[in-house]
Structure 1
Amino acid sequence: MNKIILIGRLTKDPELRFTPSGKGVATFTLAVNRPFANQQGEREADFIQIVVWGKPAENCANFIGKGSQVAIDGRLQVRTYDNKEGQKRWVTEVVANSVEFLDSRGKRESNRDNNENNNNQEDSSFGTVIDFSEDDIPF
């Protein structure tokens, strides 16, 4: 069985491309916090490459962005390719079967607007303000 479930935050906006046949493929990196602290008492994160195909890829590109929290259900894929110098390279990534957007729609749109316009105004129509240290954010 090859099944992976991850919850994390995007480190940057998804990159959407299309195959010659017109099928969408989105890629992004997901920062997933480890459930323990290191010897210095700091929390660390793993940065995992995600690939999404088809209509879900287009939805990812349209509705989530840097900082969005998502849940991924997928499988681990390891593949190889030869680089320009003829050396074999290995790539490990998660191919998503489904992507669930965990932020509210209003917050996602606010994050997207802030990322596109460098506008740091808060969306006061949702939730409460939580104080946190910038060091707590893994990206």
Structure 2
Amino acid sequence: MNHVNLIGKVCTAPRIYELPNGRKIARFTLQTSETYLDEEGNTKSRKYKHLMSAWGLWTKVLEGTGKNLELAIEGKLISRFYIRNGQKHFVSEVEVNDLIIL
């Protein structure tokens, strides 16, 4: 099963792209955080950044939104590669199936 649930803040404003076939995609970065106890029992915090992609109707929802928007996201993990300047680059991102603006 490939299922991802995240709650976090948008840290790069969504950018909307229109593909040659007319489909639209929104790309943005979501920052999540977690707390944990270190070896001495002190509470610490860790932050993670996740690349996100949203298709279709979600592009209309995200259009015009900016940074610091808090979202709950449900989606799936996608891994892909592309070639730029002769170099192969691998990317993992979350493809949004559903989102809620919190």
TM-score (norm 1): 0.66
User: C-alpha distance in 1, partners of 2:76/2:67?
Assistant: 23
1:24 Cα offset (Å)? 1.4
Q: After the TM superposition, which of the residue ranges 86-95 and 2-11 deviates more from structure 2?
A: 86-95
User: C-alpha distance in 2, partners of 1:35/1:41?
Assistant: 7
Structure showing greater Rg: 1
Q: In angstroms, what is the RMSD of aligned CA positions?
A: 1.7
Q: Is the 8 A contact 1:31 1:48 kept in 2?
A: yes
Larger relative contact order (Cα-Cα within 8 Å, sequence gap ≥ 6): 2
Q: Which has the higher strand share?
A: 2
Alignment gaps of 5+ in structure 1:
103-139
Change (3 A) 1:27 1:35: same
In structure 2, the residue matched to 1:71 is 72
User: C-alpha distance in 2, partners of 1:60/1:6?
Assistant: 16
1:35 Cα offset (Å)? 3.2
Aligned pair count reads: 100
Alignment gaps of 5+ in structure 2:
none
TM-score (norm 2): 0.87
1:21 Cα offset (Å)? 2.3
Change (3 A) 1:88 1:36: same
User: C-alpha distance in 2, partners of 1:12/1:37?
Assistant: 29
In structure 2, the residue matched to 1:32 is 32
Secondary structure in structure 1 of the residue aligned to 2:59: helix
1:37 Cα offset (Å)? 5.3
